[in-house]
Amino acid sequence: MTHAQPLELLKQARNRFTQREIAEHVGKDTKTVRRWEKGETPCPAMLEPALRDLLQQPATGTTEGPGGHSFRFIDLFAGIGGIRMGFEAHGGECVFTSEWNDFSKKTYIENYGDHHPFVGDIVPYPAEDVPDHDVLLGGFPCQPFSIAGVSKKNSLGRPHGFECTTQGTLFFDVARIIATKRPKAFLLENVKNLLSHDKGHTFDVILQTLRDELGYDVHYKVIDGQHFTPQHRERIIIVGFREKTGFSWDDLKLPEEGPRLASILHKTDGTEPVIPWDGDRFFDHNKQSVQPRYTLTPNLWAYLQGYAEKHRAAGNGFGFGMVYPDSVTRTLSARYHKDGSEILVWQGQNKRPRRLTPRECARLMGFPDSFQIPVSDTQAYRQFGNSVVMPVMQEVARIMTPHVQALIAHERDGTPLALPLFS
């Protein structure tokens, strides 16, 4: 038998399913599926039954658009794709990605493939060249806003006034793409402190730009990730729609009691899953224990204890954060690779604590174990520390999607905009 038939089935499956979904169904990783698609290795004939079975199943998204997708989105300042994953879960198709960090790009492509334009720095990229899309997603970095010589009052009402008030910041690049492409909706994510930065002036400029100058109906809310994962992580989510919709934050379903740390820690009782792409990198399955390199060295542990004691004596609250199975952790930061001090896992009386492993960090951010970690531990810690709590994004995508679909239908065939009903 030739390999043409399985390859043709694979192509049919890719019209409806992501590489990750196909990989999970046939028991391979996304890198292998990508190699089959590119012709680097032949698609095995033995996979024909599995692929035929997959094609009998409904796609994960709705079937309102081509390929089973109900809307198209772009992923700016993408990091490792945490926002993307949340919107793919509700039928979105990513058509463009921007991420400047090469290590993050490696992780991103490993998990999502590269079947659409992927650019590094978005700053010099022409907005006109960005593909048409329904939703713009962006976890934009917050940089100081330079408004030298330009008052808010003067910029109001000017067609391109935001170029004055936000020039030189990465938010400007979000704004110029929204202004040019006019997506039906957007979601922007940032640290909670964006609200108070520069005594609130920064956020005022952002709202002024999105509402007054770009004309979007804007809603924002601070959401704590601990509703979904055992981590206290407050982030501001800014959502906007090109037209008035029935969107309301009241439709969010945030569990009152979130999980505790034990739910994401490696299990030492024989129930830790074997993750093919991890192997024994983080967890020794023969010894049923976390790899010893994650335990703090005697010198580092002594230093952190001394540092904490010095600050306690001075009346300061600085120190390490010890966590236990029933804990909710502090916010995981991008500097976690340095000493792990904000989240140290207790390992027993008179034993040195340990860092979370990168796999545990992935779980702490709500990423599934199917998410691959192809970079060094240092880079992985940075990437997860800079990422989003994925289930938060998935929940926001859930309540945004019906309104996006309504706007698509309204534009396509004049369907009246109506308030969607949530179950």
- Tell me, yes or no, whether 213 lies in a domain: yes
What is the CATH number for 44? 1.10.260
- Would strands 185-191 and 234-241 be described as parallel, antiparallel, or unpaired? antiparallel
Give the C-alpha separation, 405 to 222, whole Å.
25
Based on the fold, state whether residues 74 and 214 are members of the same structural domain: yes
Q: What is the DSSP letter of 417?
A: P
- Residues in a beta bridge with 241: 185, 217
Q: Which residue has the tokens 């207790």?
A: 346
Q: Check whether residue 342 and residue 304 sit in a common domain.
A: yes
- Calculate the alpha carbon distances from 59 to 72, 89, 286 in Å: 16, 11, 38
Does residue 60 sit within a domain? no
- 75: domain range? 70-257+389-413
pLDDT tens for each residue of 267-293: 999 999 999 999 999 999 999 999 999
Residue 119: inside a domain, yes or no?
yes
Residues 90 and 102 in one domain: yes
Taken in order 359, 363, 365, 370, the sign of the CA dihedral is: positive
**Whether 110 and 14 share a structural domain:** no
Kindly report the CATH number assigned to the domain that includes residue 343: 3.90.120.10
- Count of the separate structural domains present in the chain: 3
Q: Is residue 284 part of a domain?
A: yes
Say if residue 42 is in the same domain as residue 106: no
Residue pair 36/47 in contact by the 8 Å Cβ criterion: no
CA distances from 55 to 94, 133, 164, 366, 401 (A): 21, 27, 52, 28, 25
Per-residue pLDDT of the chain (423 residues; tens, 9 = 90+): 344 578 888 887 876 677 777 888 888 887 888 888 777 888 888 888 888 888 877 544 433 444 457 899 999 999 999 999 999 999 999 999 999 999 999 999 999 987 789 999 898 999 999 999 999 999 987 544 323 223 333 443 443 333 444 444 788 899 999 999 999 999 999 988 888 887 888 899 899 999 999 999 999 999 999 999 999 999 999 999 999 999 999 999 999 899 999 999 999 999 999 999 999 999 999 999 999 999 999 999 999 999 888 878 777 767 789 999 999 999 999 999 999 999 999 999 999 999 999 999 999 999 999 999 999 999 999 999 999 999 999 999 999 999 999 999 988 877 777 654 544
Task: State the catalytic residue, choosing from 43, 94, 142, 361.
Answer: 142
Inside any domain, residue 420: no
Which pLDDT tens digit goes with each residue over 333-364?
A: 999 999 999 999 999 999 999 999 999 999 99
Question: Does 379 share its domain with 396?
Answer: no
Question: Is 43 one of the catalytic residues?
Answer: no
Contacts of residue 158, defined as CB under 8 A and 6 or more positions apart, other chains included, come to 164, 213
Domain identity same for 227 and 150: yes
pLDDT at 419: 53
Are 203 and 336 in the same domain?
no
Residues 197 and 75 in one domain: yes
User: How many CB atoms lie under 10 A from the CB of residue 89?
Assistant: 18
Q: What is the pLDDT of residue 142?
A: 59
CATH of the domain at 176: 3.40.50.150
On whether both 133 and 12 belong to a single domain, the answer is: no
**Cβ atoms 284, 343 nearer than 8 A:** no
User: Which among 15, 124, 2 has a CA at the least distance from the CA of 68?
Assistant: 15
- 323 touches 261 (CB < 8 A): yes
Q: In the prediction, which pLDDT does 373 show? A: 97
Q: Where are the beta strands (DSSP E) in 287-345?
A: 289-290, 322-323, 344-345
Let me know if residue 353 belongs to a domain: yes
Tokens 């024989």 found at: 270
H/E run at residue 105: helix 102-112
Query: Which residues, in sequence order, are CB contacts of 172 under 8 Å at separation 6+?
Result: 162, 163, 166
**Is the domain of 191 the same as that of 138?**
yes
User: Residue 420 contacts by C-beta under 8 Å, 6 or more apart in sequence?
Assistant: 246, 402, 403, 406
pLDDT for the residue numbered 18: 73
CA 38 – CA 376 distance, rounded (Å): 26
List of residues 6+ apart from 153 with CB closer than 8 A: none
Query: Are residues 178 and 236 located together in one domain of the fold?
Result: yes
Q: Is residue 423 part of a domain?
A: no
Contact predicate 128/176, CB 8 Å: no
* Within-domain flag for 65: no
SS3 73: strand
Give the CA dihedral 405, 408, 410, 411, nearest 10 degrees.
170
